[in-house]
DNA sequence: TTTTTCAATCAAAATAAATCAGAATTGATT
DNA sequence: AATCAATTCTGATTTATTTTGATTGAAAAA
């Protein structure tokens, strides 16, 4: 990451903002390799041109005025992805660390897995995803090849949904599938939406390894529908505050549980 | 790489620019073998001829006029959609005038049809499209339901491509399909890309009426692949400068040709 | 309090502009 | 063709300008 042009830095800042609606000086320093002072100056200039608003510690998107064009404000998804943002990013970063250049991977929709795009944008991957949000960022900001299933895009969840196709991914095979879920018991992964679970089952079907991204809360939730038995899972990435007893119960099924 | 001609150097610069939307002095020095001073002079000349804009450290593409700086991305598509922008918008606006609230329509990819999003954003439609760019705008800036086919997204054309599925739209039916094409003869619609034409044939298959958006240039081009016979077309929307003779030849096949 | 973030300052680094001499090209002339 | 002067182009060097990053102390949060 040698000596970025000013323009590249500013694009990076705006991209991070697009991704997270808020970003810190430190994030940008890390992403660009420039010094804190320089990033501060960039912030000031971008603020003067009305691209963002400075707040203590970082910058944020200018809230879209009511009824304004720019970003109809993806109601639910954009808000939800920022809930427990830093935890989700930590999990996503760890998940991304298992990916190698050139891999073919599946990325499930959802707010936790979404944060993986930040960490894979610099790689060249084949990415199969049912998340329109993931697709959008990778297509416009990376060299990844993006493969989408057929379906209707739900603006709230930014998921591509389909109940017409028995196997939306019949044409594809991936090394790893990175999945979000709604709930984990010691025996099964669960979810609530029948439309979503259909696609997710297909994803698991077509991946050799299944990696689950799950913050601590998932261990308290049981969805009404079974996604798959826990043995099918290769690895679970979760945070340090997850209940050790539950984790060791899961480990007994041969699952590699990573806490970060 | 001995002693490039001035012309070669400038071509190299423009090629690098086309590829990355910006480039640095050092990149060009390395690519051409010329000295920094020479490249600087080339930059100045190219800037005077309006091929690029100098910025500190390098040069960048001239931002698209209406550009709010952002989205230097999508190099190819974003630039191409601004070529003959006003003509394309007039055609697209006319096309959109045939759409009613609640319709189910198909929108083909391409730069002309893309401009339809501006005119349908305020409606509630079911939109089936192979254009990722169209999908993105409608999802984020309208209440339309967006339906996508399975496939790989090509960043240049922003098209969702698929050669694995015999009929990508088998599950759907639309009232009208709004299509761009590469060429029109008096008997047939033509295109060049076999991957694209496969999807487009499926679109036509599943629409009752076919509306073609074609600027004047399409009447001079013949693609190598036949999309469909002209009789299948309900309506062609083109500009006032199209050759009247050709148009009346087409009208004889029962096509409603609209000039605006 | 202690810690973090911010703004201001200044020296160092990077880039741009200006200058000049040598090389290449041109074109007029023989 | 060949020569030569004039012109243009190039690259090295020097000078000026802008940007950057480290340091400092003030201000704000914890």
Based on the number of CB atoms within 10 Å of its own CB, is B232 exposed (0-12), middle (13-18) or buried (19 or more)? middle
What pLDDT, on the 0 to 100 scale, is given for residue B6?
79
Angle between the B6-20 and B25-32 helix axes, to the nearest 10 degrees?
Answer: 130
Separation of alpha carbons B250 and B259, rounded Å: 13
**Residue B67: which pLDDT band, with cuts at 50, 70 and 90?**
very low
Asked if residue B61 lies in contact with residue B82, where contact means CB atoms within 8 angstroms, the answer is: no
State residue B34 phi and psi, 5-degree precision.
-85, 170
Q: Where along chain A do the CATH 1.10.10.10 domains lie?
A: 6-73
- Is any atom of strand C within 7 angstroms of residue B110's beta carbon? no
What residue ranges of chain B are covered by domains with CATH 3.40.50.1360? 79-259
Q: What percent of chain B has pLDDT over 90?
A: 77
Q: Is A190 left (phi over 0), alpha (psi -120 to 50) or beta?
A: beta
Instruction: Tell whether the model's pLDDT for residue A67 goes beyond 50.
Output: no
A206 contacts A228 by C-beta, under 8 angstroms: no
Residue A8 CB contacts under 8 Å (≥ 6 apart), including other chains? A32, B22
Residue from A248, A253, A177, A174 nearest A212 by CA:
A177
A24: nearest nucleotide, CA–C1' criterion = C5
Those residues whose C-beta lies under 8 Å from the C-beta of residue B41, and which sit 6 or more positions away, are none
The SS3 call for residue A34 is coil
Residue nearest to nucleotide C24 (CA to C1'): B3
CA diameter of chain B: 64
Query: CA-CA distance, B162 to B199, in Å (whole number)?
Result: 7
Confidence tier at A2 by pLDDT (50, 70, 90): low
Residue A234 has pLDDT above 50, yes or no: yes
* Sheet of strand A151-154, all strands in order from the earlier edge strand to the far edge: A159-161, A151-154, B145-148, B126-129, B104-107, B174-180, B207-213, B235-238, B256-259
Q: Distance, angstroms, CA B47 to C1' C25?
A: 25
Q: Is the dihedral angle over the CA atoms B124, B127, B133, B139 positive or is it negative?
A: positive
- Say yes or no: Cβ of A40 under 7 A from any atom of strand C: yes
Among the residue ranges A144-148, A219-223, B15-19, the one predicted with the least confidence is B15-19
Which residues of chain A lie closer than 8 angstroms to B71, CB-CB? 140
What digits encode the pLDDT tens for the residues B183-221?
A: 999 899 999 999 999 999 999 999 999 999 999 999 999
The CATH fold assigned to A6-73 is: Arc Repressor Mutant, subunit A (1.10.10)
The CATH code of domain B6-62 reads: 1.10.10.10
Euclidean distance between CA atoms A44 and A58, whole angstroms: 11
Are B109 and B180 within 8 A, CB to CB?
yes
Average pLDDT across chain B, whole number: 90
Q: What is the mean pLDDT of residues B6-30?
A: 87
Half-sphere exposure (CA, 13 Å, Cβ side) for B197? 14
Q: Is B62 on the interface with A (CB under 8 A)?
A: no
pLDDT value, residue A62: 84
CATH 3.40.50.2020 fits B79-259, yes or no: no
Helices (H), ranges, B67-115: 75-80, 85-96, 111-114
CA distance A75 to A210: 30
pLDDT, tens only, B152-187: 999 999 999 998 988 999 999 999 999 999 999 989
pLDDT in tens, A121-158: 989 999 999 999 999 999 988 999 999 999 999 999 99
- Residue A206 scores a pLDDT above 80: yes
pLDDT of residue A5: 84
- Burial letters B10-20, b for 16+ CB under 10 A, else e: bebbbebbeee
pTM: predicted TM-score of the whole model, two decimal places:
0.86
Q: What is the pLDDT of residue A153?
A: 97
Please, are residues A81 and A103 in contact by the beta-carbon 8 Å criterion?
no
How high is the pLDDT of residue B66?
43
Which of A7, A72, A148 comes nearest B160 by C-beta?
A148
**What is the structure's pLDDT at A66?**
42
User: A108: helix, coil or strand?
Assistant: coil
Q: Residue B144: pLDDT above 50?
A: yes
Q: Which of B121, B148, B166 to mutate to test the interface with A (most CBs of A within 10 A)?
A: B148
**What pLDDT band is residue A79 in, cutting at 50, 70 and 90?**
confident
């Amino acid at each position: 990451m040698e000596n970025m042009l000013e323009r590249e830095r500013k694009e990076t800042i705006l991209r991070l903002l697009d991704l997270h609606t808020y970003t810190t000086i430190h994030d940008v320093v890390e992403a660009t390799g420039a010094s804190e002072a320089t990033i501060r100056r960039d912030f000031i200039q971008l603020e003067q041109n009305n691209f963002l608003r400075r707040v203590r510690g970082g910058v944020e998107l200018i809230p879209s005025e009511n009824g304004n064009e720019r970003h109809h404000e993806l109601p639910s998804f954009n808000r939800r992805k920022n809930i427990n943002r830093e935890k989700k990013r930590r999990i996503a970063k760890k998940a991304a660390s298992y990916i190698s250049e050139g891999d073919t991977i599946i990325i499930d929709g959802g707010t936790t897995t979404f944060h993986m795009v930040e960490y894979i944008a610099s790689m060249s991957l084949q990415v199969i995803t049912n998340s329109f949000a993931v697709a959008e960022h990778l297509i416009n900001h990376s060299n990844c090849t993006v493969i989408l299933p057929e379906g209707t895009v739900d603006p709230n969840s930014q998921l591509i949904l389909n109940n017409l196709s028995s196997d939306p991914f019949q044409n594809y095979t991936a090394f790893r599938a990175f999945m979000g879920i709604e709930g984990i018991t010691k025996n099964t992964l669960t979810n609530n939406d029948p439309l979503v679970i259909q696609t997710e089952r297909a994803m698991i079907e077509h991946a050799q390894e299944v990696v689950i991204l799950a913050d601590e809360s998932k261990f308290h939730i049981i969805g009404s529908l079974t996604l798959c038995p826990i043995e099918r899972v290769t690895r679970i990435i979760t945070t340090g505050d997850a209940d050790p007893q539950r984790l060791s119960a899961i480990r007994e099924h041969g699952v590699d549980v990573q806490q970060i």
